[in-house]
């Protein structure tokens, strides 16, 4: 019985450790400072857009993998940089607007893509809506089922 209890306790701590070590590291204030110091201002006082070949490659690959109806991408343009600070969460990300050619659509379309400089990951909340012929932001808040239903 003692061996069983010891095994259960060891298993519990092993699971807790693996979950803790698998979590993403939080963004630090130093990460914000580093990101902000990378911005440059042109002669008109405007922030120069980020034009990083590696980020552009990641974005193009992401679109190729997620949006199978996209024939090709053009013009990956930096749009904005957003930070979020609260007592419980902290993150930052860049937004890019990408011009894409969708199969069966004559006009080029625009797709909003997010890039997390901490994790180096590319994401998008937009899905192709065939009926509207546009990329539509997907619903993030889904109705939660009751636990005892």
Question: pLDDT tens digits for 111-121?
Answer: 999 999 999 99
What's the mean pLDDT in 28-50? 86
**The token pair that represents 49 in the structure block:** 């857009």
3-state secondary structure (DSSP) of residue 5: helix
The predicted model scores a pTM of 0.74
Beta strands per DSSP E along the chain = 70-85, 90-102, 109-116, 121-123, 126-129, 134-137
CA atoms of 143 and 27, how far apart (whole Å): 29
Structural domain boundaries in the chain: 27-137
Instruction: Judge whether residue 29 has pLDDT over 50.
Output: yes
């Amino acid at each position: 019985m003692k061996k069983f209890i010891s095994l259960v306790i060891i298993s519990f701590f092993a699971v807790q450790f693996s979950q803790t070590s698998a979590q993403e590291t939080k963004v630090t204030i130093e990460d914000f400072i580093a990101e902000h110091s990378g911005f440059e201002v042109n002669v008109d006082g405007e922030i120069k857009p980020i034009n990083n070949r590696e980020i552009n490659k990641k974005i193009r690959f992401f679109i190729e993998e997620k949006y199978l109806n996209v024939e090709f991408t053009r013009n990956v343009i930096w749009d904005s940089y957003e930070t979020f600070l609260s007592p419980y969460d902290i993150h930052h990300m860049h937004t890019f607007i990408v011009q894409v050619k969708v199969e069966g659509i004559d006009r080029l379309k625009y797709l909003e893509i997010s890039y997390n400089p901490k994790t180096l990951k590319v994401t998008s909340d937009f899905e192709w809506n065939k009926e509207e012929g546009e990329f539509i932001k997907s619903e993030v808040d889904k109705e939660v089922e009751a636990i005892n239903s």
